[in-house]
Amino acid sequence: MPSRWNDDEARAACAQFAAAGELVALRVYTSRLLGGDDTLVLHGGGNTSVKTTRRDLLGRDVEVLCVKGSGWDLGDIEPPGLPAVRLDVLRELRALDQLRDEDMVNAVRGALLDATAPNPSVEALLHAFLPHAFVDHTHANAILALTDQPDPERHVRAALGDDVLVLPWIMPGFPLAKAVADAYDARPDCVGIVLARHGLFTFGDDARQSYERTIELVDRAQRYIDRQLGGAPAMLSAELGPSPLDERERALELALPVLRGACAEAKHGAPGGWQRVVTSVRTDDELAAFGLHERARELCAQNPITPDHVIRTKGHYLYLAREDWRSPDRTRRLVAEFELGYRRYWEQSARRVSPDLMLSPKPVVAVLAGVGLAALHPTSKGARIAADIAAHTLRVKAQAHALGDYVALSDDELAEMEYWPLEMRKLGKAALPELAGQVALVTGAAGAIGCGIAEVLLERGACCVLTDVDAERLRVVEQRLGAGARVHAAVADVTDEAQVEAVFAAAARAFGGVDVVVPNAGVAHVSAIERMDKQAFARVFDVNTTSTMVVLQQAARVFRAQQTGGCVVLQASKNVFAPGANFSAYSASKAAALQLARIAALEFAEMGVRVNSVNADAVFGDDDVPSQLWQLVGPDRMQARGMDAAQLRDYYRERSLLKQSVTPRHVGEAVAWFAAQRTPTTGAVLPVDGGLPEAFPR
């Protein structure tokens, strides 16, 4: 592992962060070097510090520790992510024999120079008690493979030599800070300290020295592992190879809706009574092969490589052999057994630290033999973080196993971390958005209404699968929504059954399944009945009615696999109740679709699925995402009424009872309301038309 220190980049960082002072600027620079390597730290893990001085209001120079603040990630930290704490206050605390966590947090917060700064790292005292200007702490994979062993010191000593100290597992916070300081005082010539089953501390007089000591020690660890394993692949290799890539995809499509449904948690007040989860999967060859190894099941049932990970992934992973994930019944049974295991762990190990609260007993990470891994979390970010951590974890566990025997923290030690208030604080207290964990599938998503629906559903926390036959317009909508990983766009013609099936399969691969289905694709044809072209008429029925039936069929299949209910919101039309002349194909096909939705309400109720409809009218959209329907019928209407485009909009607004224009977002609000399932309503029609007496539902 080469050092990535670069003099030019270091100088550039000093220039960029000049206002924070050179020491802090260099601290930012090397923190980012550490954070940029996911084999050293992952997603907010690790912490760094620098000791420097700050001028107080009276012009005195005050010695401070600038230490990573909570909520910052080393990979993109900035000077405000290193809040300054008075060093003398922290150092004095070392004289205490004991310090309660609340008192420690309070004392450290009280010593902040800026009272509004984020909470300094829970390791702030450890950083303060060491004398060096720079201190770097990582959870490097190679170090963990050496220490997560029956004897944590044996391989570390052989790999790193006598330059380092090795401390046993000690609970982070004050006890660890004291232990590290005492150990250092006894061996001030050491260049680093390995914390068994936790990670590595290095230190130095300048930024480069401290950083490069981390790199040097991790490099020694890596070389040692390579020597010991004789160049064998890092991952466990099974006799059977992983499934071919396309088979892995089919497996995900089959297994994830079942798994996702089984991992949803019954929760009062959540849509349909379920806190659902979305998935993030990793299916590279190594991970796919991991699950086929004879020890895979056992390694999945062992605690994390470093305790920090427990709040993201839980202690154990769910293991599904091929015959398990192929069978919905077996998958559900194994999830139930996992829950029982977690309850047992809570009773035996966690209850004494957290008598009143048990976290969700559902698995967060599942290993699917031959396929890879899937992480499940109410937010796509949480799922992605858990999947990243799990991918690294399996590699480290495999290496540790190959070196000797993987031995992690005990359940009691892990429970103390999992339920440690200072650790749980890292997850934040923000309530989940209303539709967190829900996956919505919107057809006709490139149109104005489809875009408005997706916009509102995304704002409420849902993930969205957008599909449309028009690739160009779909790209425009995707860019406009800008929701990154929470949007998956799939070009498809909904009149083609195979393509609809493919969209639902894509939804399963992207997010694990579907909960909110919005059949919205629609076309129109303007013609009097006398002159109607039969093919054009059939084409409108094909898109507006038959495709709705096909979408309902596919939705039912997924709902049945998930067993957590769901919701369908059909975009019907004001024309269903108030039809227009020369508009028979559209009005009749939408009326048929509405009737289809009502029948689906009858048939899907036993699955807990609600089916409702929205009747919108005169939704024009805007210049970027215009309504395709109005692009088609607008000129005809303008001509018939002798109006231009703006006059036509005014006309439609003024003819409604509420004298209000209807926007795509209004339709989105209606869909989001149905998706939230706040009332036991199915088979209903909600007009979003400004109030048109002739279109009142009946």
Catalytic positions, please?
586
Which range touches Zn ion (CB under 5 A), out of 74-82, 198-206, 505-513, 541-549? Answer: 198-206
- CB nearer Zn ion, residue 199 or residue 513: 199
The DSSP secondary-structure symbol of 69 reads B
Q: What angle do CA 557, 559, 563 make, to 5 degrees?
A: 125
- CB nearer Zn ion, residue 87 or residue 126: 126
- CB nearer Zn ion, residue 199 or residue 204: 199
Which range touches Zn ion (CB under 5 A), out of 192-200, 312-320, 630-638, 651-659? Answer: 192-200
- CB nearer Zn ion, residue 29 or residue 201: 201
CB of 47 to Zn ion, least distance (A): 7
CB of 137 to Zn ion, least distance (A): 6
CB of 337 to Zn ion, least distance (A): 31
- CB nearer Zn ion, residue 199 or residue 621: 199
CB of 177 to Zn ion, least distance (A): 12
- Number of Cβ within 10 Å of residue 44's Cβ equals 18
Bridging pattern class, strands 134-138 and 199-204: antiparallel
Residues contacting Zn ion: total by CB under 5 A: 1
Which range touches Zn ion (CB under 5 A), out of 16-24, 26-34, 191-199, 473-481? Answer: 191-199
Bridging pattern class, strands 365-368 and 318-320: parallel
CB of 198 to Zn ion, least distance (A): 6
* DSSP result, 410-435: -HHHHHHHHT-HHHHGGG--PPPPTT
Contact 133, 205 (CB under 8 A): yes
- CB nearer Zn ion, residue 304 or residue 378: 304
Q: Interhelix angle for 497-511 vs 547-562, to 10°?
A: 30
Binding pattern for the stretch 141-180 against Zn ion, x by CB under 5 A and - elsewhere = ----------------------------------------
Of residues 418-457, those binding Zn ion (CB under 5 A): none
Sheet holding 164-167, edge to edge: 84-86, 61-67, 47-55, 134-138, 199-204, 192-195, 164-167
Tokens found for residue 619: 């939704």
- CB nearer Zn ion, residue 45 or residue 363: 45
CB of 99 to Zn ion, least distance (A): 19
- Judged by DSSP in three states, 351 sits in coil
CB of 426 to Zn ion, least distance (A): 12
Bridging pattern class, strands 164-167 and 192-195: parallel
Which range touches Zn ion (CB under 5 A), out of 67-75, 113-121, 195-203, 388-396? Answer: 195-203
- CB nearer Zn ion, residue 44 or residue 566: 44
Tokens found for residue 248: 């892995």
Residue 186 burial class via C-beta count within 10 angstroms: exposed 0-12, middle 13-18, buried 19 and up: exposed
CA 288 to chain centre: 21
What span, in angstroms and rounded, lies between the C-alpha atoms of 73 and 45? 7
CB of 77 to Zn ion, least distance (A): 16
The DSSP secondary-structure symbol of 446 reads T
Tokens found for residue 93: 């605390």
CB of 556 to Zn ion, least distance (A): 48
- Number of Cβ within 10 Å of residue 363's Cβ equals 28
φ/ψ (deg, to 5) at 377: -155, 150
- Judged by DSSP in three states, 685 sits in strand
Which range touches Zn ion (CB under 5 A), out of 193-201, 212-220, 389-397, 428-436? Answer: 193-201
Which range touches Zn ion (CB under 5 A), out of 8-16, 199-207, 515-523, 586-594? Answer: 199-207
CA 230 to chain centre: 37
What span, in angstroms and rounded, lies between the C-alpha atoms of 291 and 316? 14
Sheet holding 516-518, edge to edge: 487-491, 463-468, 439-443, 516-518, 566-571, 609-616, 685-688
Tokens found for residue 153: 């010191």
3-state helix, strand, coil in the chain (%, to 5): 50, 15, 35
CB of 389 to Zn ion, least distance (A): 13
- CB nearer Zn ion, residue 135 or residue 263: 135
CB of 136 to Zn ion, least distance (A): 11
Cα 317 to Cα 230, 243, 413, 446, distances in angstroms: 29, 21, 18, 39
Binding pattern for the stretch 276-315 against Zn ion, x by CB under 5 A and - elsewhere = ----------------------------------------
- CB nearer Zn ion, residue 253 or residue 308: 308
Which range touches Zn ion (CB under 5 A), out of 112-120, 125-133, 197-205, 268-276? Answer: 197-205
What span, in angstroms and rounded, lies between the C-alpha atoms of 67 and 52? 11
- CB nearer Zn ion, residue 261 or residue 304: 304
157-167 burial code (b ≥16 CB/10 A, e <16): eebbeeebbbb
Q: Which residues of the chain form contacts with Zn ion (CB under 5 A)?
A: 199
